[in-house]
């Protein structure tokens, strides 16, 4: 699942092409000043869809962040997908974060669930259970179960997931993307040792969340 085109995510190329084409056309027809808003839009698209390569730390027991953003929850919770007690770690992404989603552990995707839902602010706790979301059940190489949930936000309207049951991922592998601000929840075994702290800023694939 290695991603061959870092720097700009493939999801961003259509948006970038449209905004650059519009800027060039308006610059040709009406002049430079009229095209400025479209060049600014192109710059926003470029920064939003950036997808830089990452150095992946640790070993098979390491859990890395599935997304860039800020840790907004570390709590005991009930995993609603595997129906077990778990530790939930939530990462909130704003529109200025990289929005590629990466596998938190080495392992096999056992099941994928998609749920339509609402679009509450992704920073709110109720977003985990009420918003549109896509969940992966991963069986780690250590034998532990890890659930990784992409959650749409207030502005986000598109969750993209490129894996299915049976796919094998290495931690840090790119598996999906969420457009325009969202959240990713990770449900870990209660025995996992969480290394991140509430409020920490993390990077997908390169920040350690926990050790199994």
Q: Does the annotation mark 65 as catalytic?
A: no
Measured CA to CA, the distance from residue 154 to residue 108 in angstroms comes to 31
**Taking the CA atoms of the chain, what radius of gyration do you get in angstroms?**
18
Q: Which contacts qualify for 125-134: CB closer than 8 Å, 24 or more apart?
A: 125/73, 127/151, 127/153, 127/183, 128/88, 128/90, 128/183, 128/185, 129/80, 132/159, 133/159, 134/159, 134/161, 134/176
**Encoded tokens for 129:** 């259970």
DSSP structural state of residue 25: H
**Encoded tokens for 177:** 């993307």
Could you give phi then psi for residue 163, rounded to 5 degrees? -120, 165
Q: Which is catalytic among the residues 65, 100, 182, 207?
A: 182
Catalytically active residues, by annotation: 182
């Amino acid at each position: 699942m290695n991603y061959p085109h870092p720097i700009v995510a493939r999801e961003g190329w259509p948006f970038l092409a449209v905004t650059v084409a519009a800027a060039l056309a308006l610059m040709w027809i009406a002049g430079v000043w009229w095209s400025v808003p479209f060049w600014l839009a192109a710059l926003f698209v470029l920064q939003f869809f950036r997808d830089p390569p990452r150095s992946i730390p640790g070993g098979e027991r390491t859990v890395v962040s599935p997304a860039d953003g800020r840790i907004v929850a570390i709590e005991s919770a009930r995993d609603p997908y595997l129906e077990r007690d778990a530790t939930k770690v939530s990462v909130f992404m704003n529109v200025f974060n990289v929005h590629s989603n990466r596998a938190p552990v080495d392992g096999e995707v056992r099941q994928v669930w998609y749920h339509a839902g609402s679009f509450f602010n992704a920073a709110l706790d109720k977003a985990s259970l009420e918003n549109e979301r896509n969940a992966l059940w991963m069986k780690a190489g250590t034998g532990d179960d890890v659930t990784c949930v992409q959650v749409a936000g207030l502005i986000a309207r598109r969750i993209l997931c490129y894996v299915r049951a049976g796919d094998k991922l290495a931690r840090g592998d790119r598996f999906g993307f969420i457009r325009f601000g969202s959240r990713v929840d990770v449900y870990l075994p209660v025995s996992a040792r969480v290394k991140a702290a509430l409020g920490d800023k993390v990077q997908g694939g390169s920040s350690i969340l926990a050790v199994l």
